[in-house]
Amino acid sequence: MNATPPIAGSPGDAAGMAAMLFCVDPTGTGVRLRAMPGPARDAWLAAVHSMFGRGAPSRRVPVNIPDGRLLGGLDLAATLASGRPVAERGVLADAHGGLVTLAMAERMAPGTAARIAAVMDSGEVAVERDGMAMAAPARFGAVALDEGLDGDEVPPAALTDRLAFHVDLSTLREQDLPVPADAAAIAAARERLPAVTVSDDIITSLCAAAVALGVDSLRAPLAALRAARAAAALAGRDAVTVEDAGIAAQLVYASRATRMPAPPETEETESEPEQSPPEQSAEPEASAQTDDNTEQRLPDADEELLVNAVKAALPADLLAQFAAGVERRVPSRTRGKAGATCNGSTRGRPAGVKRGEPRGGARLDLLETLRAAAPWQRLRGKSPGSTARISVRREDFRISRLRQRTATTTIFVVDASGSSALHRLAEAKGAVELLLAECYVRRDSVALVAFRGRHAELLLPPTRSLVRAKRCLASLVGGGGTPLADAMDAARGLADSVRRRGDTPVVVFLTDGRANVTKSGEGDRPRAEEEALLAAKAFRVESMTTLLVDTSPRPQMAGRTLAEAMGARYLPLPHADSHTLSGAVRVAVAAG
């Protein structure tokens, strides 16, 4: 069977195709555009604008947009001027029938994402704010600009789940992008779109392909279906063909795939090293053939075609990972870093308003002030010589009270090497879970870095979710060397990002302090110890709260020296269980 991707050629063509399909059915699809600001991104966006048609509104949503601007609310200026409440439409309502660009989506707070997602789902903005209730239609095409650097920085999953196409321009140049279609062709396709039909077979194949590739969310096949329709409409057809479905599958599933299609019972146990070395992505026929040997249900030819289309579009390294039996950690399932931003110090808990004057940094609560003044206007209006529509007096002033506190993020750095006994790991897991269980009350979060073998690994990004923590902890295994310096650097990087977010990091090391793997991943004890000491000093320089729990059966100098170097509290706990451990951490956090 012919398994060349339906969109032949470079990734640029795929990006161009996504742009066109998005313009044909903007409300049904949506794009997550992963790229740094630059000519390629500008060109892509310009192409979308040119195809979208004249007169369509286009709005840009900044990452920290307040609810009042996003959804709408009371227009204070107009209200004051006219003497009656005047509503202000939000950005989303303004963009009805047009395009919404979400800037820096990877840093968007989950709350903002949830609001936008709710509007996308219902097609209207429902506002219950500032003393007014209104609803305005808001059906728009969304483009989320994702400037995340690595897999950890992703837009909130609530958003990415609803955006059909995930386009990656990071490796493309401006000239790689194809020339956009003209607006007339798009307009014609839009007209044709409602009449395009899809056969049941195609729907079944799209769903089956999603399952085969490990795409869980049911929004994905729905999005693929919309995309396939758009593709058919664009090609001037009245019915979706397998080729259209192939294009849709490639664009929608490729970035969401979590596994190589294989019969369910073999995927966990068998690793198939011979299956597809990376360079075979250009001709995935061979890998397709090897898949087909043991099948319980017979996949119809269409499904296979779709799966192959997606496979052809997968990045080569991913393919190799799948082949090695590694399930991909789906970025969209992780909680974005933005979560902590929103729950950190930026979210001062409003503790109501109080009467007072806006001085000394206190912020005037305009609305409450206005409310306080409002009932008296009739009475005050009678005072002669006044031209102001509304008279606000000193006793009306209300200032907002914000109760702010910084949240603590405890970063556990756990030695999972062979020298630390395996049961240490279990205790660390227990301690993390115990601390997490208390996090509801304290509103704190926990992160986990484990190191063994040659490198350290961020196992659990800062989170409060017990569900997620358990999932990550369950996969932690022990054994191997002790790359302490690498772990320290990783932890410091994480602590730094936590601090920049406005939270307070507390780093807890659980190790015996005997480094034997260098940063470059070589087994060289003296150099490894030297590097570890150097890395430890960096903590002291940045004056971070640290705690070093010496887990060796007989505590020795290595641990103590390290603790001194980083200015850490030193705690020899040869017989720590998870309860004493979490207790000790609590004390350190309180003191720090």
Partner 1 sequence: MSGLFPFTAIVGQEDMKLALQIAVVDPTVGGVLVFGDRGTGKSTTIRALAGLLPRMKAVIGCPYGCDPASTAGICERCSGSEHPKSQLVPVPVVDLPLGATEDRVVGALDLERALAQGVKAFEPGLLARAHRGFLYIDEVNLLEDHLVDVLLDVAASGENVVEREGLSVRHPARFVLIGSGNPEEGELRPQLLDRFGLSVEVRTPEDIATRVEVVKRRDAFERDSEAFRAGWAKDDDKLRRRVVAARNRLKNVQVPDAMLERAAQLCVKLGTDGLRGELTLTRAARAFASLEGDTVVTDKHLRRVAPSALRHRLRRNPLDDAGSGTRVERAMQEVFGA
Among 179, 474, 590, 591, binds partner 1 (CB under 8 A): 474
Among 219, 401, 454, 527, binds partner 1 (CB under 8 A): 219
Among residues 118 and 316, whose Cβ is nearest to partner 1? 118
Helix axis angle, 200-212 relative to 301-313, nearest 10°? Answer: 50
Among 4, 280, 561, 578, binds partner 1 (CB under 8 A): 578
Q: 456: which strand partners?
A: 451
Among 4, 280, 465, 561, binds partner 1 (CB under 8 A): 465
Query: Who contacts 346 (Cβ-Cβ below 8 Å, separation ≥6)?
Result: 502
Among residues 151 and 273, whose Cβ is nearest to partner 1? 151
Picking from 459, 470, 445, 446, the residue whose alpha carbon sits closest to that of residue 415 is 459
Min. distance of Cβ 203 from partner 1 in angstroms? 6
Q: How far, in Å, CA of 348 to CA of 342, rounded?
A: 10
261 is an interface residue for partner 1 by CB under 8 A = no
**Binding string, 400-439, against partner 1, x = CB under 8 A?**
------------------------------x--xx-xx--
Residues 296-335 binding partner 1 (CB under 8 A) are 333, 335
Min. distance of Cβ 71 from partner 1 in angstroms? 6
- The answer to whether the beta carbons of residues 455 and 483 sit under 8 Å apart is yes
Among residues 14 and 206, whose Cβ is nearest to partner 1? 206
Residues 149-168 binding partner 1 (CB under 8 A) are 157-158, 161
Among 88, 94, 106, 130, binds partner 1 (CB under 8 A): 130
Among 19, 225, 449, 547, binds partner 1 (CB under 8 A): 225
Min. distance of Cβ 391 from partner 1 in angstroms? 12
Among residues 89 and 519, whose Cβ is nearest to partner 1? 89
**Binding string, 39-78, against partner 1, x = CB under 8 A?**
----------------------------x--xx--x----
Min. distance of Cβ 217 from partner 1 in angstroms? 4
Picking from 285, 300, 295, 121, the residue whose alpha carbon sits closest to that of residue 203 is 300
Among 468, 499, 527, 540, binds partner 1 (CB under 8 A): 468
Among residues 59 and 129, whose Cβ is nearest to partner 1? 129
Min. distance of Cβ 303 from partner 1 in angstroms? 9
Residues 159-218 binding partner 1 (CB under 8 A) are 161, 194, 198, 200, 203-204, 206-208, 210-211, 216-218
- The answer to whether the beta carbons of residues 32 and 193 sit under 8 Å apart is no
Q: How far, in Å, CA of 410 to CA of 495, rounded?
A: 9
Return the DSSP state at 134.
Answer: E
Min. distance of Cβ 97 from partner 1 in angstroms? 15
Give just the sign of the alpha carbon dihedral 570, 573, 574, 578: negative
Q: How far, in Å, CA of 405 to CA of 541, rounded?
A: 25
Q: How many CA atoms lie within 13 Å of 123's alpha carbon, on the beta-carbon side?
A: 5
The two structure tokens encoding residue 325: 């039996």
Min. distance of Cβ 225 from partner 1 in angstroms? 6
Among 372, 494, 533, 547, binds partner 1 (CB under 8 A): 372
DSSP string, 329-378: --GGGSPPTHHHHHHTTTSPEEEEEEE--S-TTPPB-HHHHHHHHGGGHH
Q: How far, in Å, CA of 130 to CA of 146, rounded?
A: 32
Min. distance of Cβ 393 from partner 1 in angstroms? 15
The two structure tokens encoding residue 474: 């369950």
Among residues 207 and 318, whose Cβ is nearest to partner 1? 207
Q: How far, in Å, CA of 509 to CA of 487, rounded?
A: 10
Residues 81-110 binding partner 1 (CB under 8 A) are 83-85, 110
Min. distance of Cβ 193 from partner 1 in angstroms? 10
Min. distance of Cβ 153 from partner 1 in angstroms? 17
Among residues 45 and 248, whose Cβ is nearest to partner 1? 248
In 178-290, DSSP assigns E strands to: none
β pairing state of 545-550 and 569-572: parallel
Picking from 456, 426, 432, the residue whose alpha carbon sits closest to that of residue 586 is 432
Among residues 146 and 427, whose Cβ is nearest to partner 1? 427
Among 32, 89, 115, 256, binds partner 1 (CB under 8 A): 115
Among 32, 47, 79, 318, binds partner 1 (CB under 8 A): 79
- The answer to whether the beta carbons of residues 510 and 563 sit under 8 Å apart is no
The two structure tokens encoding residue 231: 């593709």
Among residues 76 and 316, whose Cβ is nearest to partner 1? 76
Q: 87: which strand partners?
A: 74
Query: Who contacts 531 (Cβ-Cβ below 8 Å, separation ≥6)?
Result: 484, 485, 515, 518, 519
Min. distance of Cβ 126 from partner 1 in angstroms? 5
Q: Counting every residue, how long is the chain?
A: 592
Tell me the three state secondary structure of residue 427.
Answer: helix
Min. distance of Cβ 546 from partner 1 in angstroms? 24
Residue with tokens 């931003």: 341
Min. distance of Cβ 555 from partner 1 in angstroms? 26
